[in-house]
Structure 1
Amino acid sequence: MTLPTLTLSLQYGRFPDAAKHRLVLKRHKVERWIRHALAADGEVTVRIVDAQEGQTLNREYRHKDYATNVLTFDYAVEPIVMADLVLCAPVVEREAIEQGKTLEEHYAHLLVHGTLHAQGWDHETSEADAQEMEAEETLIMQGLGFANPYQA
């Protein structure tokens, strides 16, 4: 199976635990996770941020005043997938602990999830769409050697 090509920019905001997240998010792993979720070639920027930056972006762009795990900014330039994925490190880490997952596993899932959003998948439009997106995420994650992200 030939995977789509990916031009990746991997960025880190300045925050106290950034080094721990850099260790988990090796460039080759991030590229692999995203490429498996792409249906076409892509240009993706991944930025790992602290809670303050995550909350500011969520408030400004989604009008929700809290830091969320992943934000997807899709620039819809077909046939190339162009997007920014912003992941909030403290939220991702907290959720991984709460869900009994490794930090790597949760980052992989959220990068797959965000990449699908960048291609038009949406779990907030209907229950059927949510189930379809979860099924696709599960297939991709299992193909990457991870467990179903929606089972405890």
Structure 2
Amino acid sequence: MKLTVNGETRDLDIEPDTPLLWAIREELELQGTKYGCGIGMCGACTVMIDGVATRSCVTPVDGLESAEITTIEAIETDPVGARVVEAWVKHEVAQCGYCQSGQVMATVAMLRENPRATAEDAAYAISNLCRCGTYNAIDAALADLTSKA
């Protein structure tokens, strides 16, 4: 099976029902996408598939051969991604950092779709969980990002 991840097409010897998360972490050895809950609830595993934020722990690789998959490792090469990372650093969002790759991916996907997103839009689009409770810092970073759109 061929998957295109971060602009590079790779041939993987995996079963079609393999969750994308494990293809990314185990086969491609990209460790930025995290395993959290395994049921698509927490968002630590969020990647973008064709620009859409997607929970990779519950997404089988079957059917993704023509998709463009983006992980946190490539996000700073994207202008929106670079802005999101800059805002995250400015507002010291991460504490443990475990959920942050998923948070960043969800935010980039939202801002690509809606550069003038409101706080309400963000609350709907970014349902990722943060065990450290850095939601105030995330909100501050989002406010910066949407006020500059």
- Same-fold call, TM > 0.5? no
**TM-score normalised per structure 2:** 0.37
Normalising by structure 1, we get a TM-score of: 0.36
Higher-RCO chain (CA-CA 8 Å, sequence separation at least 6): 2
- Of Structure 1 and Structure 2, the greater strand share is in 1
